[in-house]
Amino acid sequence: MKQSYQSITWQDDHLVILDQTQLPHREIYSEIHTIGQVWDAIKKMKVRGAPAIGIAAAYGLYLGVRELDAKNFTSFNVEIDRWIEYLESSRPTAVNLSWALQRIKTTVFANKDKDLEEIKEVILNTAKTIHDEDKRTCKAIGENGAGLVEKKARILTHCNTGGLATGAYGTALSVILHAWEKDQEIQVWVDETRPLLQGARLTTWELQKAEIPFRLITDSMAGHLMKTGKVDMVIVGADRVTANGDTANKIGTYSLAVLASENDIPFYVALPLSTFDINTESGDEIEIEERDGEEVTHINGSPMAPKKTEAYNLAFDITPGKYITGFITEEGIVKPDFKKNIKKILG
């Protein structure tokens, strides 16, 4: 299976991202040379999706420290902590961002006796490793999840969970891609995903490139489709999953999970193991990002509501673990009891 585009690439001495705010009408690749540009790209969702954010942040940390003229490891480490805090402030909900940065931090400490220039190279190489691992991980997620998809299944998905949101293939979309490759003759229902229309703009773009049949629907149509027997399963991604299986994902996911439960439809979450956050007990502890209300009152800069309309714009919601049939990971399917089995799969 080949993917004709890359959301993130490292070229020579800088990062290149496919600017997702310009899709589907324009494919614009932006060169990024500074940590500030990485922060801005994450904040403005030029790069988005939990795994892709983690990859970008890892490279961003290297961009932040590569010109650093520290005299010793102690002062170097202080600067690393400062840059990590800065990058983590861009989008607080997705756990992959902090996971990638803390992984680099651990690796830096393991190499603290080396020359500082060597440590900088260690940071870059670790970022590249995280990137490469994510590609393999997403392929495995797809292969593991494809076995859950029955022939001619009608799959509902939400937001964007493809190669745009990861190193390659995606999470939930990787399952769909691999099921299609197995000749399962599937059809995909794509939620538009208000307010930024990641489903309408991005998931449709990726499915079109893969030549997988799909139909775009309004978010509010999903319940009717389920009730009238037109949905066989729901597969979504995740930005953070707590120790008890509570899942933070794009706003609207909770509603889909409740509707799927009401209509006896399997509801799966596809994610890498790095998205599990076992240090957080439940979804009640997750900080939910609130974004600019103009994303709700405007589309592509054009107003839809009267002037001075105030909008409440939460980027994510929390789906309790009781509504989730299983988690599709690179190591297999995690089923209830989640508190026990998530811990078990993480070793």
Enzyme catalytic residues: 239
Per-residue DSSP letter, 115: -
- Buried b / exposed e across 144-162, counting CB within 10 Å, b at 16+? bbbebbeeebbbbbbbbbb
The residues pairing with 250 across neighbouring beta strands, listed in sequence order, are: 316
Token pair of 97, please? 């961002």
Strands 276-277 and 240-242, by their bridges, are parallel
The candidate with the shortest Cα–Cα distance to 213, out of 192, 182, 189, 187, is 187
CB atoms closer than 10 angstroms to residue 232? 18
- CA 275 – CA 283 distance, rounded (Å): 13
Amino acid at 308: K
Is-contact 189 156, C-beta < 8 A?
yes
- Helices (H) then strands (E): counts for the chain: 12, 16
